[in-house]
Structure 1
Amino acid sequence: MKDHLNWGIIGPGTIARAFAGGLHHSKTGRLTAIASRNPRPALAEHFPGIPCYDGYQALLDDAAIDAVYIATPHTEHAEWAVKCARAGKHVLVEKPITITADEARTVYAEAEQAGVFMGEAYMYRLHPMTQKLIDLVRDGAVGEVRMIRSSFGFDIGDAGPEHRLLNAGLAGGGILDVGGYPVSMARLIAGASAGRDFLDPVSLSGSGRIGATGVDEWAAAILTFENGIVAEVACSVQVNQDNVLWIMGSEGRIAVSDFWFAGGREGGTATINLYDRDGNHTALPFTDDGWLYAYEADAVHAAIASGGTGFSAPGMSRAESIANMEVMDQWRQAIDLRFPFEG
């Protein structure tokens, strides 16, 4: 195993630029090429000095590319993940890995058959602050965990029906774009409290608003776990939310603002707020200079170097990734959300 991976990026949008920045600061990743169906000259400003292929297949045909980051609209994730695997490339797919759990099973099966890495890019899972939070829960910082509250929501304003987040044909809306964050967090903390990597809810009830363009503009769900934990999760693309993670237990509470980005995309300091049962507050600063998206790239390399084909905990393993999509399937079903291409 060589000491670095040559990366290619399919779909050079905003999240691709963030990942490219992470690669630049990673220990094991090098951005070698990008691919676009519309290779505009302006792309050179965002990816200076990086070759740009005209079309995605051309990047897959480049033997120098070891791994591919897929940052296309959601509806193309499954197709290109399969094509990458069949081309012998390791694959990191921006969340959601697919539209449905069934598609996720297919994608992972293709990767297994090809013997390549396949992972879903929930970047917060690979940041060391996530492990710190798990340790606090397992060490009884709040006693027995009883409730979790987690949200990821923002308001894109009047972006128009063609914007990917409001376009039903591109599987837009809050649940698929950012709903997986609070769902995966609730499952992670419920699992940590039980000494496991994750737990799946035994029941889900959900509600939400489906707007004029046919996507969920805001939605919420209640997840109940076998150990009695109840989680409130919420997401939105047309409502600004506080995006504070709350973990509430028998002996206290934990609160973390904007947990998804830790101390910042380029490193920094975040604060884990711990309250005892009497309301006394202890601030636990967490400082880390690593770039958020660099951790993803380095975790992919580490997995491959150890002979693995997927992330290990607290990253999203194959089993957890599929299970997370099952919960999102249930959430969409609860609010009767189907996209035009689903019939």
Structure 2
Amino acid sequence: MVLTLLQPGTEDPSLSAAMVNDSSRRSASDTALSAGPVLANGGGSALGDAAQGASGQIGQALAAQEAAERRAEERRREAAERARAAASSGGSGSSGNSGGAPAAGPVGGAVQVAGDGIQAALKMGWQAIGGDEFLGSTLGSNWSPYNGAGHDGQGRRTSDAISVENGNLVIRGDSQGNTGGMAWGTSQKYGKWEMRAQFPKGDKQYHPVLLLWPSEVSWPEGGEIDFAETTSASDDVSFFLHYGSSNSQKDAKKQLDITQWHNYAVEWTPDAIVGYVDGVEWFRSEDPNTFPPGPMHATIQLDYFPDGGSPEPSEMRVAWMRQYK
């Protein structure tokens, strides 16, 4: 089967129009996601903790570098453990890591990486088939960054807004509405996806979103699963399930300190679509009429919703994206 990767900002005008004209799907979130109080940044980050602990001894910059190296090594060990488990149990799979570490095999019994929190995948024994740990210095080849008009034709999506720094993907939005987004090249119908993300305090006009986008059936008929969507100024996060030609929606909202690191996951089976935060279920739909009709692929975006003048620069960070059977 030949899969056509649908993504906003591509040269295909029909696909670009489908994404940039999706203001109707986001309008509900514009009013639902309100600005919250300023909160401390980075408390759940091993990198932030290490930098703070080393302050005054070897300097914050050096501490950050060393912490990133330790974190990368921990991830490599975890990936190696998964690979050994797969080999001993007869499992198989392929690596999708930009850093070259294996990401296949059963993970139910794997030891969680320190600082990576409670993961739905480890809790429920999902079997990994690929993903990206963002261990390198550049974006992996399985990602396709967007270049073109921004959300609803406002601002601009550019690959210049995307970087890989200290073991994290970083997408930045500037004061002019220049921001970024990218699509993962491996699609599947049914499966599970989990991402570890942090949304530092920023401007309400920027909307971080982790989602699944249709790969074969055009939007809106192809559906859309936003399993983490918020604004950079919010104190909550929302789940939006879009379905049908009229872009109908089911949604849920959860109070959450989004400035801290959290694990956001979605499970899509023939029986249900379920959302998780830090291994705890918070959204479920068992109505088959709400399910996507075809394969989906993972997408990471920082969307610009102009509302009230020039935005303050904002960013989102993702430590890893993992895809499961």
Give the TM-score band, short-chain normalised. under 0.3
Taking CA–CA contacts closer than 8 Å with sequence separation of 6 or more, which of the two structures ends up with the larger relative contact order? 2
Structure showing greater Rg? 1
Q: Which has the higher helix share?
A: 1
As a proportion of its length, which structure holds more strand? 2
TM (normalized to structure 2)?
0.26
